[in-house]
Amino acid sequence: MENNTRKKEVKVGQLCQLCHCRKAVMKRPKNLQKLCKECFYHVFETEIHLTIIKEKLFYKGETIAIGASGGKDSTVLASIMKTLNERYNYGLNLVLLSVDEGIVGYRDDSLATVKRNQQQYQMPLEIVSYKDLYNWTMDEIVSCTGVKSSCTYCGVLRRQALDRGAIKLDIHHVVTGHNADDMAETVLMNLLRGDAARIESSVNVTTNSIGSPVKRSKPFKYTYQKEIVLYAHYKKLDYFSTECTYAPEAFRGTARVLLKNLESVRPSCIIDIIHSGGHFKLKPKRIRTNTPKKNIPQNTNNNNKNKHNNNNNTDKEIEIRPDGSVSIVKDGNRCERCGYLSMNKICKACILLQGLEANRPKMIIGESLTSSSDGAAKLSKTLEGLSF
């Protein structure tokens, strides 16, 4: 009996440093605090709630689309949004929104996870596909362009696809599972590339493409990747863990490794990098423009959300880009090709698609050379000689 009691005793050093009564089962990645499961859930969920409140992300009655890829980040996001919405009575209507990029053996499997999540969280689900929107799947695009530029295409097309999906549902706010690590990586990438103009905006918790009625928020701005994985693991959430078939953007991969090394020496560096990014200010730049002097905006700070009414024409606005350049934006501008909202004559997605269309005939020749259509890898080998 005495022996049994002794076995169950927990040394003080092994106790949770928050509740001081339960056994610690983990060292919290963010600050190395020893915690029990219950206290970890509590701090993890509360920090996200505080971000939502401090940043005033939502209003009561708002409908929010959760960008759901089936991966760990967006699965935890869906679970947390449901938990916090109920616990703190946010009054939100939550909808899952998925983009099917058309990547055989990857996205089809992860979408199966999202469909299960739909049942588990009892949320409506909308799926929009590249094939329907653009008449291209990502597999076809990679066949045409090669793997190297796949992230560039996918990023532009997915961004617009999420917007279009939201608009289809009459939703004006999308939340994504981008986390603190993603943000710190982006700051590092921009810093290492000398892209100073993008540093500040890369840590914005809410962003808005110019001309788009849909805003995007990142409730996980301060949430560490490792903690998301731990939360998903302890809560036994149903998520899809395979990496995209097309390797992540090479330079982001380098920034990721660098960040992981820094994190192992100093865990707070992820938050510190985000903090530094948010306080990074460029020197005001002199604006070179042909616009008559009286229309040049006086405020030259680098906030890309800044818009100024042009005195001469009320349906036009001057927008100052983060790099200090100025463009005239017409209200409700639409892409001449697809009709989607765009600040340019042709939207970014259409510029990419036009290039692809020009290459389609070559691709069809390539397809006839291969006996199988199972994904891009095979086809891209056949087409290696065809540059675009």
Binding residues for ATP: 67-69, 73, 99, 177, 182
Q: Could you tell me if 131 and 194 are in contact, meaning their C-beta atoms sit under 8 angstroms apart?
A: no
Distance in Å, CB of 222 to ligand ATP, minimum? 15
Residue 101 vs 317, nearer CB to ligand ATP: 101
Shortest-Cβ-distance residue relative to ligand ATP: 71
Specify the residue for token string 């891209």.
380
Return d(Cα 302, Cα 204) in angstroms, integer: 13
Q: By C-beta, is 71 or 366 nearer to ligand ATP? A: 71
Tell me the closest approach of the beta carbon of residue 51 to ligand ATP, in angstroms: 15
Helix pair 269-278, 180-193: axis angle to 10 deg: 60
Minimum distance of ligand ATP from residue 329's CB (angstroms):
26
In 53-170, DSSP assigns E strands to: 63-67, 93-100, 125-129
Give min distance, CB of 84 to ligand ATP, in A.
16
Residue among 71 and 297 whose Cβ is closer to ligand ATP: 71
Inter-axis angle of helices 138-145 and 150-168, to 10 degrees?
A: 150
Complex with ligand ATP: residue 99 or 353, whichever CB lies closer: 99
Q: Judged by CB, which is closer to ligand ATP: 99, or 383?
A: 99
SS3 content of the chain, % helix, strand, coil (to 5): 45, 10, 40
What gap in Å lies between CA 181 and CA 179, rounded to an integer? 6
Q: Rg (Cα) of the chain, in Å, rounded?
A: 24
According to DSSP, the β-strands at 63-67 and 173-175 are parallel
Minimum gap (Å) between residue 76 Cβ and ligand ATP: 8
Select from 382, 355, 345, 352 the least CA-distant residue to 367: 382
* Cα–Cα–Cα angle for 149, 151, 155, rounded to 5 degrees: 130
| Residues near ligand ATP, by CB under 6 A | 67-69, 71-74, 98-99, 101, 158, 176-178, 182
Is the CB of 35 or the CB of 123 nearer to ligand ATP? 123
Residue among 160, 154, 167 at smallest CA distance from 126: 167
Tell the smallest beta-carbon distance from residue 72 to ligand ATP (Å).
4
Residues of each annotated binding site: 67-69, 73, 99, 177, 182
